[in-house]
Amino acid sequence: MGPGESTVGASAWATLQAEIERCVRCPLHATRQRVVVYRGSASPLVLFVGEAPGAAEDAAGRPFVGRAGQRLDRAVAALGLSAAEYGMLNLIKCRPPANRYSPIAAARCRPFLDRQLELLRPPIVVPLGRHALRAFDPSAPPISQAAGRPRRVGGTTLFPLIHPAAVRSHATRERWEHDLERFGRWLAARRWTRRPSQRI
């Protein structure tokens, strides 16, 4: 069974996944190898949202499997999140050439993201980087200011972080680790209801 707590939810997820995989709504369909939909729990406590697949993800058909994904996996382990407690996806489901963010693709892909959110219903969303943050909070300050602090937007709890692919210098590594520590403390202080789940 896929995301959704019932067979109805699982069926809706399977339908959505099939629809995304055959999508030709924007020009990125012509250059992709694989559509990259989701990896993680059927009912994640924490949903990490990136911008778009890179080369490794395009080849694998799974999000966050490249170098940035390995950094994110280490972060998930450090946060103590179990496999049932997190999921990962991107705003855009197909790789943009040269990894250049495409606002047109993001707009055309947005309905898929909204339907994923409806089915996954994550209590906490972690936008990774400025584009993901703006997708959830168009009036948010720059990611350098917003990262590492929780914010509530229209009934959604966000905890933005800088994108793991942006962690290239000593300074950004320190910032990443600092914000992760804050996230870990904030997460531990909350008593979220853990829902039963399964991997897909």
Task: Give residues in contact with ligand SF4 (CB under 6 A).
Answer: 20, 23-26, 28-29, 35, 92-94, 105, 108-109
Tell me how far, at minimum, the Cβ of 123 lies from ligand SF4, in Å. Answer: 26
Tell me how far, at minimum, the Cβ of 101 lies from ligand SF4, in Å. Answer: 12
Residues contacting 92, CB < 8 A, separation 6+: 28, 51, 52, 53, 101, 102, 105, 106, 109
Q: What is the DSSP string of 126-178?
A: EEBSHHHHHHH-TTPPPHHHHTTS-EEETTEEE--B--GGG--SHHHHHHHHH
Tell me how far, at minimum, the Cβ of 40 lies from ligand SF4, in Å. Answer: 18
Q: Which of 54, 58, 18 is CA-nearest to residue 36?
A: 58
Residue 29 or 149: which CB sits closer to ligand SF4? 29
Residue 50 or 148: which CB sits closer to ligand SF4? 50
Both tokens assigned to 196: 């039963």
Tell me how far, at minimum, the Cβ of 107 lies from ligand SF4, in Å. Answer: 9
Residue 107 or 180: which CB sits closer to ligand SF4? 107
Tell me how far, at minimum, the Cβ of 193 lies from ligand SF4, in Å. Answer: 32
Answer whether 15's CB lies under 8 Å from 9's CB.
no
Residue 113: strand, helix, or coil: helix
